[in-house]
Structure 1
Amino acid sequence: MAELPQPRLWGLWVVLLSAAVLTLGFVAKDLPGFTTNEFTVDQELSRNHDGFLTAVAMLINSVFSPAGGVVIIALTCVFLLVVRKSPVNAVAFGAVSAAGWLSSQFFKAIVERQRPNPALLFDPLAPETGSNSFPSGHVALAVGLAWAVFFLARNTRWARLAAVLGILVPVVVACSRVYVGVHYPSDVIASFLAATAAVVLVAAVWNRYQGSILPRIPLLGRFGPVAPAADSVHS
């Protein structure tokens, strides 16, 4: 991960993806009837909960929670740093996954959309209130991790599996958040765009600066060689 895939005109991609997130967020929040129509999906799912699906959704609710996200990212970074002795991969994995995840907090603060009202659900599984519905942090975490895992595996025999799981897992997490009743469909859709925008931005910054910054951190050198400056990769 000394070099990360970086699209051409990456800045334009960041702007367009971010604009799409904000447009969707303000339309969902302010357009009359939009939220009401979306909420019918949450209500319909709430009336038809299944024991197995509920168990899976609640497991996802815990695994991809803020605490779960910290544990997943921290343990993976420690594994890459200590066991694999790859400080570059450890820092890059942490930066990419955390950026994708934290992108949700940035857009939440701007849009401030109210969560679905649990009092109007037939079977609220994890009642939450507040103005932090858009976009979903759980889904943003899943997307950030998916990109980080794919970048880590892209030149190995695990690349195809990482790509498949990188699509499948975030989609399952997204569906679970609507199933639980804590997000609207547009919340989870926006998370894919928001997290990807953050990953594109971090990849560009990483390719530009990691070679000059990481070698100056003495602690990283104890675990293995730190990559020199690398040219940007375009894909």
Structure 2
Amino acid sequence: MPLPRLWLLWALLLSASVLSLGLIAKKLPGFTIGEFSVDQELSRDHNSALTAVAMTLNYVFSPVGGVVIIAAVALYLLVMHKSPINAVAFGGVAAAGWLSSQLFKVLVERQRPNPALLFDPLAPETGSNSFPSGHVALAVGLAWAFFFLARNSRWARLAGVAGIAVPIIVAWSRLYIGVHYPSDVLASLLAASAMVILFAGVWNRYQGRILPRIPLLGRFGPVASPNNQR
């Protein structure tokens, strides 16, 4: 997988930025009050078309939706394309980006926006798991996974454009619904990218030693070297 130089340092710096942003957002009440005004303004201007889009994304990028998408694409690559390395790599990249949100949710424990203060709460949620957004982290993880998969094909440009557009649209939907603050969705972009970089670095270093030893993958054909796949 392609990586920046000093990839471990990049992963650490992005993670530190996410944690710092989360602690600032949690400790400074004025910061959260200012952010909440964005949610309230979006809540004031709901319309049926945008609400339908936002609620559809709410379900597609939910935990259940994430499992279905990742499993379906990985299974397709494994069974239809006989490409075990791509199947494992796709699943690993997408999951790494997605699960990054769970780590920082535990570390920061920021309360979600109060739905009672919104003009039109569409999917009221409460709890201390606001920072960062799992939906956006999933979208970013999938964006990286599809880009890595398509980067040497005619689909690379489309994957790149969609990989930028879809996470931004999902981030907007979380604010539109009123279940996250702007810093929550921004942090997801950074957190998911940090974990994808970390996963890619570990993958590049160790996959050639580990994957050939997994018996299940051998049933779908030989496990090729990293020079032949991805």
- Give TM-score, length-normalised by structure 2: 0.97
The answer to whether the aligner puts 1:147 opposite 2:144 as a matched pair is yes
Q: Percent identity?
A: 75
**Counterpart selection for 2:15 from 6, 14, 18:** 18
**After the TM superposition, which segments of 4 or more aligned residues of structure 1 sit over 2 Å from their partners?**
227-230
The answer to whether the aligner puts 1:192 opposite 2:193 as a matched pair is no
Tell me whether 213-222 or 64-73 shows the greater mean CA deviation: 213-222
**Distance in 1 of aligned mates of 2:64 and 2:226:** 34
Report what 2:218 is aligned to: 221
The one-letter amino acid of 1:11's match is L
CA RMSD of the aligned region, Å?
A: 1.1
**Distance in 1 of aligned mates of 2:23 and 2:215:** 46
The one-letter amino acid of 1:168's match is A
The answer to whether the aligner puts 1:99 opposite 2:96 as a matched pair is yes
**Distance in 1 of aligned mates of 2:221 and 2:83:** 6
- Cα distance per residue 1:135-194 (max 9 Å; x no partner): 000000000000000000000011011000000000000000000000000000000000
Report what 2:175 is aligned to: 178
Cα deviation, residue 31, structure 1: 1.4
**Distance in 2 of aligned mates of 1:190 and 1:48:** 25
Report what 1:137 is aligned to: 134
**Distance in 1 of aligned mates of 2:225 and 2:95:** 23
Residue ranges of structure 2 left out of the alignment (5+ in a row): none
Tell me, what secondary structure is at the counterpart of 2:142?
Answer: helix
The answer to whether the aligner puts 1:53 opposite 2:53 as a matched pair is no
The answer to whether the aligner puts 1:90 opposite 2:71 as a matched pair is no
**Distance in 2 of aligned mates of 1:227 and 1:151:** 17
Cα deviation, residue 32, structure 1: 3.0
Cα deviation, residue 221, structure 1: 1.0
**Paired residues, what number?**
228
Contact residue 209 and residue 229 of structure 1 kept, 8 A: no
Contact residue 212 and residue 228 of structure 1 kept, 8 A: no
**Distance in 2 of aligned mates of 1:178 and 1:58:** 12
**Distance in 2 of aligned mates of 1:228 and 1:145:** 23
Report what 2:162 is aligned to: 165
Tell me, what secondary structure is at the counterpart of 2:9?
Answer: helix
Report what 2:206 is aligned to: 209
- Cα distance per residue 1:76-96 (max 9 Å; x no partner): 000000001100000000000
